[in-house]
């Protein structure tokens, strides 16, 4: 089966995204997947639901949510096309440890994880690719923890924008914002007003342009400076 997601852990040839045409990229586990789509707001799975599948995204963004006892929905992560597998944390569990909701329209490969585990026991290449996906998830989770650990609010917002920027982009880049400013505030532990104000300041400084639903990174170095060096000098509020 051909696939347009060249950074999925299970594509046949290891290469940088965009190196091959869709017709040249073959999935090594095509017999245990089916292609699915979701509209914005659709639920891929709910916390506590029986765990059956993993999802490798080819388009769109999914927000990962944890439901608190008081009913508050805490966003604990974002996942998009790449080597992250949505649902991976529940691979060895009977039920999903969190909920996954489409932040945008989503196209994905749904992978039966029981069959995938059986395949990994039989095939070393599949097992190594699954380990790679686990390592990628750990790296992403660590990066998100670092974002939330910044002392200054501006550094948190800039770091989250950088984390959401497509991996292949390290300069001028425009992409669809996968979550609202309220969602960003939820992730970062800030007020929505604070996120809006800081993004407006970054826009006035020329680091970004932020039309509704999009982020246009105009000055990667300046945005990186805000993230790395607390350039804006504002504490978390």
The token pair at 2 is 């051909």
How confident is the model at residue 193, as a pLDDT?
Answer: 94
The pair of three-digit structure tokens given for residue 200, joined into one six-digit string = 């407006």
Q: Which of 175, 167, 199, 173 is nearest to 185 (CA)?
A: 199
pLDDT of the residue at 176: 75
Which is nearest to 144 in space by CA: 212, 63, 67? Answer: 63
> All domains of the chain, ordered by start, with CATH?
32-129 (2.60.120.10), 149-229 (1.10.10.10)
Each of the 237 residues of the chain gets a pLDDT tens digit; together they read 455 566 677 765 544 444 444 444 466 666 667 889 999 999 999 999 999 999 988 888 898 888 776 667 788 888 887 767 898 888 777 899 899 999 888 999 898 888 888 888 888 888 888 888 888 888 888 888 888 778 899 999 999 998 888 765 566 777 777 788 888 898 888 999 999 999 999 999 999 988 877 888 888 889 989 988 654 444 444
Distance, in Å, from the CA atom of 32 to the CA atom of 114, rounded to the nearest integer, reads 10
Q: Helix 153-164 crosses helix 220-229 at what angle (to 10 degrees)?
A: 130
CA distance 60 to 63: 10
Distance CA 205, CA 79 (A): 29
Is pTM, for the whole model, over 0.75?
A: no
For residue 148, give the nearest of 205, 62, 227, 70 by alpha carbon: 227
Check if the beta carbon of residue 82 is closer than 8 Å to that of residue 167: yes
- What is the distance, to the nearest Å, from the Cα of residue 225 to the centroid of all Cα atoms in its chain? 22
């Amino acid at each position: 089966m051909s696939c347009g997601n060249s950074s999925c852990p299970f594509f046949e040839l290891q290469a940088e995204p965009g190196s091959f045409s869709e017709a040249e990229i073959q999935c090594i586990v095509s017999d245990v997947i089916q292609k699915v789509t979701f509209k914005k707001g659709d639920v891929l799975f709910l916390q506590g639901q029986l765990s059956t599948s993993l999802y490798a995204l080819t388009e769109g963004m999914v927000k990962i949510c944890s439901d608190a006892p008081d009913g508050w929905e805490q966003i604990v992560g974002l996942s998009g096309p790449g080597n992250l597998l949505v649902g991976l944390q529940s691979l060895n569990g009977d039920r999903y440890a969190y909920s996954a909701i489409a932040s945008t329209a989503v196209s994905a490969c749904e992978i039966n994880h029981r069959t995938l585990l059986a395949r990994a026991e039989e095939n070393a290449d599949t097992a190594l690719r699954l380990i790679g996906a686990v390592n990628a998830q750990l790296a992403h989770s660590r990066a998100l923890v670092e974002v939330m650990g910044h002392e200054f609010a501006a550094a948190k917002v800039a770091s989250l924008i950088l984390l959401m920027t497509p991996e292949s982009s390290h300069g001028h880049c425009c992409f669809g914002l996968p979550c609202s400013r309220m969602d960003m505030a939820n992730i970062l532990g800030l007020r929505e007003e604070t996120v809006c104000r800081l993004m407006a300041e970054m826009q006035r400084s020329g680091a970004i342009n932020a039309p509704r639903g999009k982020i246009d990174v105009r000055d990667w170095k300046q945005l990186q400076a805000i993230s790395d060096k607390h350039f804006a000098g504002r504490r978390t509020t």
